[in-house]
Amino acid sequence: MTRNPQLNANGELTHLLTLEGLPAAIVTHILDTAEPFVSIAEREVKKVPLLRGKAMFNLFFENSTRTRTTFEIAAKRLSADVINLNIGASSTTKGETLLDTVDNLCAMNADLFVVRHSQSGAPHLIAAHLTAKGRSHVHVVNAGDGRHAHPTQGLLDLYTIRHYKKDFRALTVAIVGDVLHSRVARSLIHGLTTMQVPRVRVIAPRTLLPTKVESLGVEVFNDMREGLSGCDVIVMLRLQNERMKGALLPSAGEYFKHYGLTGDKLALARPDAIVMHPGPMNRGVEIESPVADGARSVILPQVTFGIAVRMAVLSIVSAN
C-alpha cells in the first residue's frame, strides 16, 4: 500500500480528503490551530495576512450554500483571493473532464482547491492527479464527496464537542437519523473513534443504516429513547426530503414520531447534554423548534466554529 495520500513525505497534512486514517495528532493540531482563529472575528479588521496572495478556487459540482460560504469567509479572513466557480453553468456541461478543468485552473495559478462533488472519491482523484503532474504546491480540501466524507464538517463537530465537553475519552455520543446517506455521519464517526470516544452510538431505522455499520466501531439502536439514555452529545442528521419519495420511510410525520428530537426525548440524555445539527435543519421533521432553539442547542456555535476550523485546515495544508 502507498502512503496516506493526504500526507506529504514528512507525514504532514498537504490535502484534506477524509478523516478516516488521519492520525490523532494531526486532528488535535487542527483543533488547536483553530482555537485562536475564533477571536479574529472580533477584531476591527477581521483578517490576518497568512494566505495573502494565494488563490483559492471553490469547485462545487454539487449545490451548497453554507459550506461554500464558510470556506469563502475562512479564506478571506486569511487574506486569500477566492474564486467561486459555478460549475453547473460552465465547462463540465460543455463536456470538459474534471481533470481538464483542474489543469486549466492550475494554468491560472491556483494554490488551493476546495472541492464538492456528488461522486465519492473526486477530491482524491484531483489530489492524485496533482501529485502525478508534480504540482505538490497545490492543495485539495474535500468539501463533501458523494456518500464518502465531509471532513471539515467532522472536524468542526469535533471542535464543538471538545469546546463544550473538554475530554473526548469519557463521552457517549449519539448520531441520530439518516446515517445511510450521510457523509457527515461517516466523517464524524471516524473522527470520534480516532479521538478515542469510548461510546459512539447510531440511532436510526434499519432502512437508514448502512449494512455492517457496526464495523465502524459504533453501537446500533433502532429505538431512540433507548439510544439517547445517558448521552453527553446528540448529533441530529438532516432527513433529506428526497428520501421520502423512495420506500425507505412511510412519512415525515411518522419519522418525527419515532426519530424526531423533542424535549421529552432530550430529557433521557444527561442533563448537560448538548444538541448538534450540521444544517440545514428541517424543523418538525428531525428536530422540534423548542429543542433547536433551546438552551442545550449548540447549532449556531457550530457554524461559527466551522469558519475557524476551515481557516485552520487551509493554513495548515498551504504551509505543507
Partner 1 sequence: MTPDGDWPDAEAALEALVERMRGAVAHDAALVGIYSGGAWIAERLAARLPGAHPLGFIDVSYYRDDYALSGLKPNTRRTALPFDVSGASIVLVDDVLYTGRSVRAAINELFDFGRPERIELAVLVDRGGRELPVEATYTGVRLAVARDRSIVLSRDPGGALSLCVEPVGVASDRPA
Chain contacts with partner 1 (rule: CB under 8 A) = 29, 32-33, 35-36, 39, 43-45, 47-50, 315-316, 319-320
* 8-state DSSP, 176: E
CB of 269 to partner 1, least distance (A): 32
CB of 24 to partner 1, least distance (A): 15
Q: Which is nearer to partner 1, 197 or 308 (CB)?
A: 308
Q: Which SS3 state, helix, strand or coil, does residue 143 take?
A: strand
CB of 197 to partner 1, least distance (A): 23
CB of 115 to partner 1, least distance (A): 23
Q: Which is nearer to partner 1, 31 or 275 (CB)?
A: 31
Measured in residues, the chain has a length of: 320
Q: How many helices (H) and strands (E) does the chain have?
A: 11, 9
Q: Quick one: residue 284, left, alpha or beta (phi over 0 = left, psi -120 to 50 = alpha)?
A: left
DSSP element (H, E) containing 60? strand 55-60
Q: Which is nearer to partner 1, 29 or 76 (CB)?
A: 29
Q: Which is nearer to partner 1, 87 or 312 (CB)?
A: 312
Distance between CA atoms of residues 175 and 300, nearest Å? 18
The three three-digit cell numbers of residue 300, written as one number: 449556531
CB of 307 to partner 1, least distance (A): 15
Q: Which is nearer to partner 1, 25 or 295 (CB)?
A: 25
Q: 283 has which bridge partners?
A: 287
CA angle centred on 277, ends 255 and 75, rounded to 5°: 145
